[in-house]
Structure 1
Amino acid sequence: MLCRVLPFTLVVLSTVSCAKNNKSDSLPSTSFALSASGDVVGKITVGYQGWFSAAGDGSPLNSWGHTNMETWPDIRQYAQTYSGDPFYQDGVQQPGFTGKLGNGQPAKMYSADDQQVANVHCLWMQQNGIDCIALQRFGSYTSPGSIKNFHDSVDEKMMKAAQTYGRKFFIMYDCSATDPVESDWTNTIVAAQHITSSPAYAHQNGKPVVALWGVGKSGRGAVTDWENTINWFKNQGCYVIGGPLEGFAKDTPNQPAYNLCNMIMPWMVGKTAATNFEADYAADMAYCTAHGIDFQADVYPGTAFYNTNGGATSPKNQIPRNHGLFMWSQFAAVRAAGVPSVYISMFDEENEATGILNCAEDASSIPAGQYFLTLDADGVHCSSDFYLRLTKDGAAMVKGQTAYTTTLPTPPVLSAPSSLTPHVLSSSSIKIDWSAVTDAPCYNLKRSTASGGPYTTVAAGITGGTYTDNGLTAGTTYYYVVSAGYINGGESVNSAQVSGTTLP
């Protein structure tokens, strides 16, 4: 979404209970939905901007775009990255930065117009319980030119990645009521790119999904214009999601437009920890139910705009993440209110610090001597993939796959596996067993012929607690360690070393 200036608000950080909420026994056994579960109802959807470009990326823009970043991405899993980002600091654009991160590694940025980047992002979604992608398309993207061409290209790459990793996606227009989104849908999305023909394109109630964000927002058009736009998409056979601001249920002048939507997702970004999210979700869902509309709750990790707007209007860490407690309180409120569908704001929104993708943990992984909001800002060190893992746990709770709790279950960092046990099988094979780590998605086995390493990764992404290392040399001692998580992103430290000597 477009960057918005938030007024400075005294934020009261909520504390999350260390035990299950005492009203858990009274929670609905299942979430309530008007429509049957589909690609968006009963699912976890994430907003995806896909708007970062870089000089030298070969894209239709081939220049730096959206460099007003509040957080810095962890780029270790991207095959191609670019140096020279002219990022902003305290509201002022800086010269292209070609220096290093705090850890001495080159400071680089990725481009969204890269199939490998799209693949990595959809893989992360697959691994962390995200079912569907709301692919952002702004009203300004509808005019012919390099900006439109860039986003057309990104859309195609995300479509391919969604197909590869079994995710669903749909087009979400962030627009005014009078932007030519109808012609963009007809001529580009449907006719030229065949986006809606993809097997990964989201359908609900048998209809292709389209979202319109900005419905009823001041400056985005008259209510009659919104009615015309919504009705046009419905006449194309679409299931229309409307994205108004929070408080829409009391916005009487725009209700004729809201009431035409098949689903409503009210925008919650900007709400603080003092908000009663459960009451807000419940009231909004009650309105939607009374009007025969599906409801999707908006959840976000926190936000800040210091680098974009400057400290005079946007302080650092404006609405704190509180190392996951803020976002978890929203997931708990969704479950307590019985809401079946969640929209997460956002996946890759580095500019407003709402992104849940892998980003910088601490000063060692941001440009040296510069300010970016890091994951340890609230006093707890979190791994770069922490908010993806938190989303996975939140998704499971919302879907009723795990018990309701106000206690954040996601460990800030993954622990190293313990109890490694080597079993020499032959002159060429050694099997290593280890104990499981809570919340670990996978493990990596590393080997050396010297005690203490350096180690070579033998196998990455192991999903069990055992691995047989074959093809070894007879009569040789091998030293092993195991880590939890994904190599170059959310990986734990190495375990204690164990060794085994193959038979002669």
Structure 2
Amino acid sequence: MKRNNIILIVFLLTLVYCSKSNDNGSNNNDNDNKEDTVPSPPGDVVGKITVGYQGWFACKGDGSPINAWWHWGQDWGTTPSTTNKAFISWPDVREYTNKFNTDFANLGNGQPAQLFSSFSDQTVAIQFSWMSQYKIDVAALQRFNPNGIEGPVRDAMTAKVKTASEKYNVKFYIMYDVSGWTNMQTEVKADWTNKMKQYTQSSAYAKQNGKPVVCIWGFGFNDNNHDFTTTACLDVINWFKGQGCYVIGGVPTHWLNQTSDSRPGFLDVYKAFNMLSPWMVGRISKASEADNFFATVNTPDLAYCKKNGIDYQPCVLPGDLQSRHRAHGDFMWRQFYNMTRLGCQGIYISMFDEYNEGNQIAKTAETANDVPAGSGFVALDEDGTKCSSDYYLRLTQDGGKMFKKEIALTAVRPTPPMP
């Protein structure tokens, strides 16, 4: 009997030791035996299509506080031209009433080469009317360090976005991009408290789980432009949570393995967010690469998030038009298909108006007749398939329908390039 008791005691001690060993040797798979947690219920971001909205274009003479060719020219003080341009896709400006002449040659159709200003109320209104028309649910307004020369115009853009969101029944939230923001830890709190928090009272401000949504983009990226400590990052995330916010993290692609574009030792930072939205621009450029990321990145990402009570909002991008990545919509549709069958909680479109990187879904020049002669800009028909200027808005609408199960899951793009 004593021998049996001794054997039992040794067995129990072995179990305790093994349990402690497993606790001390935790890694990315330390939750494999946990039950999956229930994701957040549908709200203003869960179950929805969100677009990143820059709203950062200005023109000299547009009445904006910056009064410069903000983000149109490399030299903001000089009129944009073939030798002074900071963007790589030409917008379709036919629906804008306030347009500004440039030093580009006339368009192929003989019309003057003109650009829009985001500061114009009509510009913001027409862009948010497109969001409403094409069933885009939410706009994530990008907000960079507001303490320099760009601060006043960014403040003004927030007010304009609020007005347009309320008018067109599109939700919006503040998305802080902390790139290069040296004093971010203290200044982002002051900016929220003194300026941005007031916007959460708007009927159009996005709420999730009953909490106002805020996103912080840039924690954990492995470059000199995001040189923040884990302590500083956790302090900011937990501060926003303490303010009653639902906090999204715009994080590196390889956040889970903490390799490549992610700093090591940041998993606790990523786990502190309510939702994760890993960056994908520059990571894929064709459908086969999207499939590979689906299997090797998105699938384990979601599994980890489900086991740790984190909502997952992967990026979908149309592709860099100038680099000819779009395949007349097949590239973007493949991502919609993959993320829908994955079962993620939301989708983030990168981006709505990113003409600087060629990843915009907003209306874009259709043919060579619609871009300045000799400028080198390619149009939506660059691969020989004619596409309407609103094609990627229509494709986003159909992708949203599939994601929301309003149409059947299909790998075959249902959206015709021309309506």
Q: Identify the match of residue 101 of structure 2 among 76, 83, 87.
A: 83
* Pair 1:108 & 2:125 matched: no
Gaps of 5+ in 1: 1-31, 85-95, 305-315, 415-504
- 2:364 is equivalent to residue 372 of structure 1: no
User: Superposed, which structure 2 residues align to 1:349-364 within 5 Å?
Assistant: 349-364=354-369
Answer whether contact 1:46 1:346 (CA < 8 A) is retained.
yes
Question: Which range moved further: 33-42 or 392-401?
Answer: 33-42
Q: Which of 42, 48, 52 in structure 1 is aligned with 2:47?
A: 42
Q: Does 1:340 pair with 2:345?
A: yes
Q: Verify the 8 A CA contact 2:39 2:345 in the aligned structure 1.
A: no
Q: 2:265, 2:148 → 1: CA distance?
A: 34
Give the structure 2 partner of residue 137 of structure 1: 143
Separation in structure 2 between the aligned mates of residue 144 and residue 65 of structure 1, nearest angstrom: 14
User: What secondary structure is seen at the aligned counterpart in 1 of 2:214?
Assistant: strand
Asked whether the 8 Å contact 2:311–2:345 carries over to 1, the reply is: no
1:278 aligns with one of 294, 303, 328: 294
**Residue type at the aligned position of 2:62:** D
Q: Which amino acid aligns with 1:388?
A: L
Greater helix proportion: 2
**Residue in 1 that maps onto 2:123:** 117
Q: Distance in 2 between matches of 1:403 and 1:250?
A: 33
3-state SS of the aligned residue for 2:364?
coil
Cα-to-partner distance string for 1:99-157 (whole Å, 9 max, x where unaligned): 31111111100000111111111111111121001000012xx2154x11111111111
User: What's the C-alpha RMSD, in Å, of the aligned pairs?
Assistant: 1.4
Paired residue secondary structure (1:248): coil
1:353-410: CA deviation from partner (whole Å, max 9, x where unpaired): 0000000111100111111131111221101000000000000001100001111111
For residues 38 and 364 of structure 2, the distance between their equivalents in structure 1, rounded to whole angstroms, comes to 34
TM-score by length of 2: 0.82
| Partner of residue 291, structure 1 | 308
Of residues 237, 245, 254, the one that matches 1:247 is 254
Q: Is the 8 A contact 1:138 1:174 kept in 2?
A: yes
Which residue of structure 1 aligns with residue 201 of structure 2?
Answer: 197
Partner of 2:157: 154
Q: 1:410 aligns with which of 412, 415, 419?
A: 415
Letter in 1 for 2:217: W
Distance in 2 (CA, whole Å) between partners of 1:175 and 1:144 is 13
Q: Contact 2:49–2:348 (CA<8 Å) still a contact in 1? A: yes
Residue 208 of structure 2 aligns with an amino acid whose one-letter code is Q
1:232 alignment partner in structure 2: 239
* Deviation sequence 1:242-268 (CA, Å, 0-9, x none): 011111111151101001000000011
Rounded to whole Å, the distance in 1 between the matches of 2:207 and 2:67 is 34
Partners of 1:322 and 1:283 in 2: CA distance: 27
**Counterpart Cα distance in 1 of 2:46 and 2:71:** 32
Contact 2:173 2:206 in 1 (8 A): yes
The answer as to whether partners of 1:277 and 1:333 remain within 8 angstroms in 2 is: no
- 2:409 matches 1:391: no
Query: What is the distance in 2 between the residues matched to 1:33 and 1:148?
Result: 40
Give the whole-Å Cα distance in 1 for the aligned partners of 2:317 and 2:377: 19
Contact 1:214–1:243 (CA<8 Å) still a contact in 2?
A: yes
- Give 1:281 shift: 2.2
Partners of 2:388 and 2:417 within 8 A in 1: yes
Do the aligned partners of 1:332 and 1:406 also contact (CA within 8 Å) in 2?
Answer: yes
Residues 348 and 357 in structure 1, CA contact (< 8 A), matched pair in contact too: yes
How much has 1:216 moved relative to structure 2?
A: 0.5
- The answer to whether the 8 Å contact 1:169/1:201 transfers is yes
Paired residues of 1:78 and 1:116 also in contact (CA < 8 A):
yes
Residue 70 of structure 1 pairs with residue 88 of structure 2: yes
After superposition, the C-alpha distances for 1:18-69 in whole angstroms (9 at most, x for unaligned) are xxxxxxxxxxxxxx96000000000000000000000110110111111211
Q: How many residues align?
A: 353
Give the C-alpha shift of residue 295 in structure 1. 0.6
Offset, 1:228: 0.9
The aligned residue for residue 169 of structure 2 is 166
Query: How many angstroms does 1:277 deviate by?
Result: 3.8
- Give the SS at the match of 2:357: coil
Q: How does 1:298-337 map to 2 (within 5 A)?
A: 298-303=315-320, 317=323, 320-337=325-342
**Contact 2:52–2:139 (8 Å) recurs in 1:** yes
Match of 1:261 in 2: 273
* Residue-by-residue CA offset, 1:73-108 (whole Å, 9 max, x unaligned): 000011111012xxxxxxxxxxx33x3111111110
Structure 1 distance, partners of 2:46, 2:110, is 45
Please list the CA deviations of residues 267-314 of structure 1 after superposition, one character each: whole Å capped at 9, or x if unmatched. 11122323224323222111111111111011001126xxxxxxxxxx
Taking a change above 3 Å as real, the CA distance of residues 33 and 365 of structure 1, as seen in their structure-2 partners, is: farther
Q: d(CA) in 2 for partners of 1:412 and 1:108?
A: 25
Q: Which moved more, 1:375-384 or 1:279-288?
A: 279-288
Residues in 2 aligned to 1:72 and 1:264: alpha-carbon distance in whole angstroms: 32
